[in-house]
Structure 1
Amino acid sequence: MEPTRTCRLIRSSRTYHGKQGFDYAEAISKESVDSQGICMHLLTIPPGKRAKAHLHEAHETAIYMLQGKSAMWYGEKLDQHMEVEEGDFLYIPAGMPHMPYNPSGTESCTALLSRTDPNEQESVRLLPELEALWQKQHASSD
């Protein structure tokens, strides 16, 4: 017998540790409400921290920057860079390598993330070889 589909309220009190290296506030996902086509969660990046290089296979991501400022290396070789400020919307196409980080040494930044994959972590593919290349290219600037 299939479970009854109905509206669900989530008061986020749980977090989970993502493959990307950050802790996410659990919200809407296959795991929490049995969603079929969307995952939404809240991410706070501590000062000076960055995610592991990764991509989301076959799934798009939409982000709204709630507080602070974030930045991201992205592209096939993580050779492109952008900054995202409070109030900005960001779109990341499916399969796009990216590595977000918090450029501030003192302030956290918080964003609302939504992805077309209902599973919290299923489409995350880590790219350690790309991250190693990025680290090698940026070793002299650190």
Structure 2
Amino acid sequence: MHDIGDDHHDHDAHADHDRDLRSEAQDHDRWKHDGVRVIPGDRLDPNTAQTPGMFRQAAINAARVGAQKIWAGTVAIAPDAKTGVHHHGALESVIYIVSGRARMRWGERLEYVAEAGPGDFIFVPPFVPHQEINASTDEPLNCVLVRSDNEAVVVNLPDVEPVEPPETVLWVDPIHKHP
């Protein structure tokens, strides 16, 4: 036998369930209106963390398109500019070189270095101390940057004393063979 309170509870549970189903259906159909998004290259958002000598613009992030697990944008690096030593926590980063010459230094004391040019990709694993450098003293470096999360994680490492000069580590992959 049910008392009045039990009947009321059952009605609330059914109403909540119906509401959940409607919400689920709306989320499922959301792609029809909010599916593929094209972000024109001349409409990127400069409202991002900036570093002197670097100009970052967001194309894909939570605020612009609702991205939950990825950030993508561009970075223009002035001639001879470089970042301080830092890492990006648990994030993975990919840098695609559009034009110019990139130099990356990494390691506990930045003891490793590699360069990349137009058409090359750079992968930066989680927690790797590194420094991005425009290898040219007179040409800008233009890149596309993709990170594995929407949060802008930057952990600056001001106490790192770089080794000079850094050891050269060549890019070795199917395209760039070891000499």
- TM-score norm. by structure 1 comes to 0.82
Greater shift, 1-10 or 45-54, is seen at 1-10
Contact map agreement 1:16 1:23 (CA 8 A) in 2: no
Within-5 A mapping of 1:75-114: 75-114=107-146
Is 1:16 paired with 2:37?
Answer: no
Is 1:67 paired with 2:96?
Answer: no
RMSD of the alignment, in Å? 2.3
Deviations 1:10-56 (A, max 9, x none): 23343135265432012111232221111111011110100121111
Aligned mates of 1:67, 1:32 — CA distance in 2: 26
Contact map agreement 1:14 1:26 (CA 8 A) in 2: yes
- Which gives a bigger RCO, structure 1 or 2 (Cα 8 Å, sep 6+)? 1
Aligned mates of 2:113, 2:85 — CA distance in 1: 13
Amino acid paired to 1:10: I
Contact map agreement 1:20 1:54 (CA 8 A) in 2: no
Quote the offset at 1:73 in angstroms.
0.9
Is 1:50 paired with 2:79?
Answer: no
Deviations 1:82-135 (A, max 9, x none): 11111111111111111011121110011111110122x2x21111112xx12x
Q: Which stretches of structure 1, 4 residues or longer, exceed 4 Å deviation after superposition?
A: 1-5
- TM-score norm. by structure 2 comes to 0.66
Aligned mates of 2:73, 2:164 — CA distance in 1: 31
Q: Which runs of 5+ in 1 are unaligned?
A: none
SS of the residue 2:47 aligns to:
strand
Paired residues, number: 133
Change (3 A) 1:88 1:33: same
Amino acid paired to 2:138: T
Which residue in 2 is equivalent to 1:37?
Answer: 69
**Greater share of helix residues, 1 or 2?**
2
Q: Which runs of 5+ in 2 are unaligned?
A: 1-22, 166-179
SS of the residue 1:128 aligns to:
coil
